[in-house]
Chain A
Amino acid sequence: EVQLWESGGGLVQPGGSLRLSCAASGFSFSNYAMSWVRQAPGKGLEWVSVISGRGDNAYYADSVKGRFTISRDNSKNTLYLQMNSLRAEDTAVYYCAKEHDRQNDYWGQGTLVTVSS
């Protein structure tokens, strides 16, 4: 059974940093690209970033480019999202998701990030 478990969310001040983690199990982690998707309170889903299975290619939404960095440790079956220069508009539930053919077939339960002073 595929399982994804996000952690690392919390309250951070504007301009601050936070690193999210996503622990994966139940599939061959290194064989699949992984994504981060976020959802602001009461709003829709927003695609954030994707990283290839080997970790050698990554892409970002314009809204986070230059501030967020996606990475992975295949030896630990863990996906990361380093978030710097955080803004109020980054407040959201952040989901990690497994990709299959450029689509998200499994999702974690999400971790809430709140950017506020």
Chain B
Amino acid sequence: QSALTQPASVSGSPGQSITISCTGTSSDVGTYNFVSWYQQHPGKAPKLMISDVSNRPSGVSNRFSGSKSGNTASLTISGLQAEDEADYYCSSYTSSKTGVFGTGTKVTVL
């Protein structure tokens, strides 16, 4: 149950696009499309931003998009805004019928 690997930090200027990677294995990301992304602001609970690799829940801005290739999933935030500054975590279902989260990425809006 090793954590999925994410970059520790990603930054961008307002209006730019950034992409966060999430690398797992063939026992999780590589096999299942139960890959989700969560946004967490300081002191707050996580919020689901993307489910099933690329689906946006109702109410989530269309500036957020997800994709997957092999063992790596990605979250792209386009038109970066100040309110997007937060921690982001990926997650996947695993072959052990458990879940696993990524190491987390701090997004900074310059």
Contacts and interface: CB of A to CB of B under 8 A. Distances in A.
Contact of A101 (B1, B47, B52, B89): B52
Contact of A107 (B1, B47, B87): B47
A103 B102 contact: no
Please tell me the size bucket of the interface on B: 20 to 34
Interface residues of A, number: 23
A103 B104 contact: no
B100 interface: yes
Contacts of B104: 44-45
28 contacts: A35-B99, A37-B101, A44-B3, A44-B101, A44-B103, A45-B38, A45-B40, A45-B104, A46-B101, A47-B91, A47-B101, A50-B99, A59-B96, A60-B98, A61-B1, A62-B1, A101-B34, A101-B51, A101-B52, A103-B36, A103-B48, A103-B51, A103-B93, A104-B48, A104-B99, A105-B48, A105-B57, A109-B45
Interface of B: 1, 3, 32, 34, 36, 38, 40, 45-48, 51-52, 57, 87, 89, 91, 93, 96-104
